[in-house]
Chains A and B, each alone.
Chain A
Amino acid sequence: MSSIVVKVKQKQIAQLIAKGKRLDGRGLKDYREIKIEQGIIERAEGSARVLLGATEVLAGIKIETGEPFPDTPNEGVLTVNAELLPLASPTFEPGPPDENSIELARVVDRGVRESKAIDTEKLCIEPGKKVFVVFIDVYVLNHDGNLVDASTLAAVAALLNTKMSNYEYEDGEVKIKSGYMPLPVKKHPVAVTFAKINDSLVVDPWLEEEQVMDARLTITFDDDGNICAIQKGGSGFFQPSQVLEAAQIAKDKADEIRKQLKW
């Protein structure tokens, strides 16, 4: 199966967009339908599945204990990994993470980390010695465009679903007690991605739009209207005015999408 978009379709997509419409009937600023399911993987401390149109991403949270980083001795550790599973797309090959899955993981990471979504100080067990390590694993199950937004949403929804065991800390050992407490999630970053096609900006590009776009721009907002991550991708470019226009639109879209998260 090939992933080349037929030239006739490319023209079609571009022509429609010039008129403010898209192949699936959406407006330029419309997202596809979003479905969020939480707690589907009981073995994980937290999990969530996001459907963004046909794009499907599963995020799982595992919590372990470990040592803090030397320059942040009383903060827990957060780490994000992403896998573009071969079953998600004919273009994904099995193997170690390639530049696309690494970029995806790092953009999701930036959004979660810089927004301070998790109060990492509450993850400290003994300063300088023991902290909780939160592993966020993003698993792309089906690629139909806009993996960044779906993955960020899945990560945050999974964090909101995460429960940590109650514990006691004695003699350098963490002892599990009964009962759970929710992971301290303070902020809910939302990523909004644009594709530039000819000279128009469209929000939430689906796969074929991504294949014909010049470039992509992701802007992640926190609950307070601050930007916590930006990533331009693709081999094209944006005019400075387009960047600022996109940021303005993204702020509003982020607020809209955040309403779908429950906390």
Chain B
Amino acid sequence: MSQKHEKLIDKKGLRLDGRKFDELRQIKIEVGILSNADGSAYIEQGKNKILAAVYGPREVHPKHLSLPDRMLLKCRYHMAPFSVQERKSPAPSRREIELSKVIREAVEPAIFLEYYPRTALDVFVEVLQADGSTRCASIVAASLALADAGIPMRDLIVACSAGKAEDTIVMDLMDTEDKQGSADVPVALMPNMNAITLLQMDGILSLEEFEQAVNLALEGCKKIYAMQKEALRAKYVDAKEVEE
């Protein structure tokens, strides 16, 4: 049973987990953790634990879905039954189907699909534990899994959410803030081109509040982008150091 909290933001302006309005949760990222997948990445963001894996480019099955001029990108976002407070059925829910679509559309612009016609590229995201803004964390991990697989990309895709808790616009919503707050704005960004590749809003916001939320989410994106790059580099630590 979920508790209803009295206040999402206390008198000092701190959130339920002690964060300020423009603070991200603690993030830990690892790249290349699955041996079978062509590329993989794991992210922890607050209590979110999400695994992403990429297979491909590989043959398209069934063959008739093959595209003559580019890769067929498929994406599956799925939540483990034990990832949420009340057990979730393993069958794909309508929400998971929608999220699979928007996540695919968020990473697609970065990939040079036309390089490998008549092949398939599969992105799998598994939410092992959920605590709000899972689609954003999923995009962060999926993007790294694609890079880990050696898929040529224009840029990494990064994502972060913003929302309204009480009367404050806050960055990186956790589940309680999403459920009890009045708006949730997930944003995905391809930083080089300043291109927004995912944008949704669920809730009620004035135009001004919406602008604030988007800007705050973009700020969060830039911070996480640096972490993504770091995680990719970390995989290739100089072997000399390892030897000694």
Find out whether the CB atom of A103 lies under 8 angstroms from the CB atom of B98.
yes
Find out whether the CB atom of B206 lies under 8 angstroms from the CB atom of A225.
yes
Task: Collect the chain A residues with CB atoms within 8 Å of residue B94's CB.
Answer: 97, 102, 105-106
The distance from the CB of B96 to the nearest CB of chain A, in whole angstroms, is 10
Task: Collect the chain B residues with CB atoms within 8 Å of residue A226's CB.
Answer: 204-206
Find out whether the CB atom of A232 lies under 8 angstroms from the CB atom of B199.
yes
The distance from the CB of B1 to the nearest CB of chain A, in whole angstroms, is 8
Task: Collect the chain B residues with CB atoms within 8 Å of residue A115's CB.
Answer: 204
Most chain-B CB neighbours within 10 Å: which of A71, A230, A237? A237
Instruction: Give Cα A244 to B205, complex, Å.
Output: 13
Task: Collect the chain B residues with CB atoms within 8 Å of residue A215's CB.
Answer: 105
Find out whether the CB atom of B195 lies under 8 angstroms from the CB atom of A232.
no
- Contact partner of A237 among B101, B104, B197, CB < 8 A? B197
**Residues of B within 8 A of A (CB-CB), count:** 34
- Determine if A180 is an interface residue (Cβ-Cβ < 8 Å): no
- Determine if B201 is an interface residue (Cβ-Cβ < 8 Å): yes
Task: Collect the chain A residues with CB atoms within 8 Å of residue B197's CB.
Answer: 232, 236-237
Q: Write the chain B residue with the least CB distance to A221.
A: B207
Find out whether the CB atom of A102 lies under 8 angstroms from the CB atom of B98.
yes
- Contact partner of B105 among A106, A114, A230, A234, CB < 8 A? A234
Report A30-82 residues with CB < 8 Å from chain B CB: 71
Instruction: Give Cα A217 to B2, complex, Å.
Output: 34
Report A214-243 residues with CB < 8 Å from chain B CB: 215, 217, 222, 225-240, 243
- What is the 8 Å Cβ interface bit string for chain B, positions 97-108, against chain A (1 contact, 0 not)? 110111011001
Find out whether the CB atom of A99 lies under 8 angstroms from the CB atom of B202.
no
The distance from the CB of B61 to the nearest CB of chain A, in whole angstroms, is 18
Instruction: Give Cα A106 to B96, complex, Å.
Output: 12
Instruction: Give Cα A215 to B109, complex, Å.
Output: 10
The distance from the CB of B100 to the nearest CB of chain A, in whole angstroms, is 7
Find out whether the CB atom of A240 lies under 8 angstroms from the CB atom of B207.
no
The distance from the CB of A97 to the nearest CB of chain B, in whole angstroms, is 8
- Determine if B200 is an interface residue (Cβ-Cβ < 8 Å): yes
Task: Collect the chain A residues with CB atoms within 8 Å of residue B190's CB.
Answer: 237
Find out whether the CB atom of A232 lies under 8 angstroms from the CB atom of B204.
no
- Determine if A188 is an interface residue (Cβ-Cβ < 8 Å): no
Find out whether the CB atom of A248 lies under 8 angstroms from the CB atom of B207.
yes
Q: CB within 8 Å of A: which residues of B?
A: 2, 94-95, 97-98, 100-102, 104-105, 108-109, 185, 190, 193-207, 210-211, 214-215, 218
Q: CB within 8 Å of B: which residues of A?
A: 71, 97, 99-100, 102-103, 105-106, 110, 114-115, 215, 217, 222, 225-240, 243-244, 247-248, 251
15 A-B pairs whose Cβ atoms sit less than 8 Å apart in the complex: A99-B98, A102-B94, A103-B98, A106-B94, A217-B199, A225-B207, A227-B201, A227-B205, A228-B201, A230-B199, A231-B201, A232-B105, A243-B199, A244-B214, A247-B211
